[in-house]
Amino acid sequence: MKRVVINGSKGRMGQTLLACAQQIPGLQVAAAVDLGDDLRSVLEGADVVIDFTFHAVTAEVAALCAERGKALVIGTTGHSEGEKQEIRRHGSTIPMVWASNYSTGVNTLFWLTQKAAEILGPGFDLEVVEMHHRLKKDAPSGTATTLLEILGKVRQVQLDEVLRHGRKGITGERTNSEIGIHALRGGDVVGDHTVIFAANGERVELTHKASSRETFANGALRAAQWVTGRSPGIYDMQDVLGLR
Ligand SMILES: NC(=O)c1ccc[n+]([C@@H]2O[C@H](COP(=O)([O-])OP(=O)(O)OC[C@H]3O[C@@H](n4cnc5c(N)ncnc54)[C@H](O)[C@@H]3O)[C@@H](O)[C@H]2O)c1
């Protein structure tokens, strides 16, 4: 039996994780923790922590898990470069899965995006569009950022030099090298992502739409079972799904 702590248990994802965990044999929720609770005190009775909280919280959670030798699944997004570095440090002590998106469909979208970028080549203009509910706190989404990283890697470019966050005013013509990113917010949209490859005479669009948080929750719970007992290191959902 794998014993899991849900950190951020009162949030949208936390609530979904608690509901989904009940359906998974071999998994037991050891504790549900949110703002104001003491994570440290419940770690003793757990094998793995799942963190869906806020970007400023994760590094401290990772440090606690490293101190107590517990595995970690990171769902939280929006970390700064400094926070990412802090979190990465603990990858040499404990096993962690760190993914911007835990849905199988989105991880397929990641794979397809890489293939399409490789096949279509530099003649296609690249734009990424994402939409989320009005309460989301970070932009662009972690998933959109992963899509941009995939595109940047295939194009062999430094993302900070080529990204165009929206457009306004007299922007001039689009350059060949730029990659557009557009974050829409509204209503209760769980998460939509589209990668557009546009050339003269044709356009390819790869789209994923999540209609339920259960897809992320079930993926994160699967990751929690997978990562418990692994060697220290930083894994992602492609590892969990065996897509590497
Ligand atoms: N990786 C994925 O697949 C995926 C999917 C959905 C959301 N997310 C990310 O997960 C995070 C949470 O999303 P959400 O929609 O559930 O947000 P939310 O705001 O509904 O929930 C966050 C919860 O974290 C709690 N929290 C804040 N600080 C805390 C602390 N110090 N200790 C414990 N709990 C604390 C809040 O009280 C809240 O209950 C966001 O970063 C979001 O982008 C990732």
The whole-angstrom separation of Cα 197 and Cα 124 is: 5
Confidence of residue 243 (pLDDT cuts 50, 70, 90): confident
Same domain, 129 and 153: yes
State how far the Cα of 115 lies from the Cα of 110, in Å rounded to an integer: 9
Q: How far is CA 244 from CA 23, 183, 202, in A?
A: 28, 29, 31
Catalytic residue from among 132, 182, 193, 208: 132
Question: 74 forms bridges with which residues in the sheet?
Answer: 51, 98
Residue nearest to atom 39 of ligand 1 (CA): 11
Distance CA 153, CA 149 (A): 6
Kindly state whether residues 168 and 218 are assigned to the same domain.
no
- List Cβ neighbours of 60 (8 Å cut-off, separation of 6 or more): none
Rounded mean pLDDT, 14-37: 97
CA 75 to ligand 1 center in whole angstroms: 8
Q: Judge if 197 and 219 occupy the same domain.
A: no
Which pLDDT score is estimated for 127? 98
Residue type, 44: E
Q: Give ligand 1 pocket residues (Cβ under 6 A).
A: 7-8, 10-14, 33-35, 52-54, 57, 75-78, 99-102, 138, 142, 216
Question: In the structure encoding, which two tokens stand for residue 182, read together?
Answer: 């557009």
Residue 91 shares a structural domain with residue 38: yes
Cα of 62 from ligand 1 centre, angstroms: 15
If asked whether residues 115 and 185 sit together in one domain, one would say yes
> What average pLDDT does the structure give for the chain?
97
Calculate how far, in angstroms, residue 22's C-alpha sits from the geometric centre of ligand 1: 20
Q: Is 36 helix (H, G, I), strand (E, B) or coil?
A: coil
What is the distance between the alpha carbons of residues 179 and 164, in angstroms, rounded to a whole number?
A: 6
**112, 200: one domain:** yes
Active-site hit among 10, 55, 84, 136 = 136
Other CB atoms within a 10 A radius of the CB of residue 183 amount to 17
- CATH number of the domain that 221 lies in? 3.40.50.720
What is the reported pTM? 0.91
Report CA(129)–ligand 1 centroid distance (Å): 22
Do 8 and 38 have their domain in common?
A: yes
Residues 50 and 8 in one domain: yes
Coil, strand or helix: which one is 12?
helix
The first and second tokens of residue 13, run together, are 């994802």
The number of distinct structural domains making up the chain is 2
d(CA 44, CA 32): 14
d(CA 76, CA 101): 9
Q: In which band, very low, low, confident or very high, does the pLDDT at 86 lie, cut at 50, 70 and 90? A: very high
Helix or strand run (H / E) with residue 64: helix 58-68
Q: What is the pLDDT of residue 107?
A: 94
> What number of CA atoms fall less than 13 Å from residue 12's CA on the CB side?
16
Does residue 118 share a domain with residue 133? yes
Q: Residue 134 — very low, low, confident or very high, per pLDDT cuts 50/70/90? A: very high
Ligand 1 atom closest to 190 (CA): 6
Q: Which atom number of ligand 1 is nearest to the Cα of residue 103?
A: 3
Same domain, 169 and 226: no
- Cβ distance 140 to 212 under 8 Å? no
* Atom of ligand 1 lying closest to residue 220 CA: 3
Instruction: Kindly report the CATH number assigned to the domain that includes residue 192.
Output: 3.30.360.10
Per-residue pLDDT tens digits for 42-68: 999 999 999 999 999 999 999 999 999
The pLDDT value given to residue 8: 98
Q: Are 188 and 136 in contact (CB under 8 A)?
A: no
Same domain as 112, residue 194: yes
Which range marks the domain in which residue 42 is found?
A: 2-98+213-240
Residue 193: count of CB within 10 angstroms of its CB? 26
Same domain flag for 117 and 153: yes
Among positive and negative, which fits the CA dihedral 244, 60, 5, 36?
negative
Does 209 qualify as catalytic in the annotation? no
136 is a catalytic site residue: yes
Give the residue whose CA is nearest to atom 29 of ligand 1. Answer: 35
Helix (H/G/I), strand (E/B), else coil: 233: strand
Quick: pLDDT tens for 180-232. 999 999 999 999 999 999 999 999 999 999 999 999 999 999 999 999 999 99
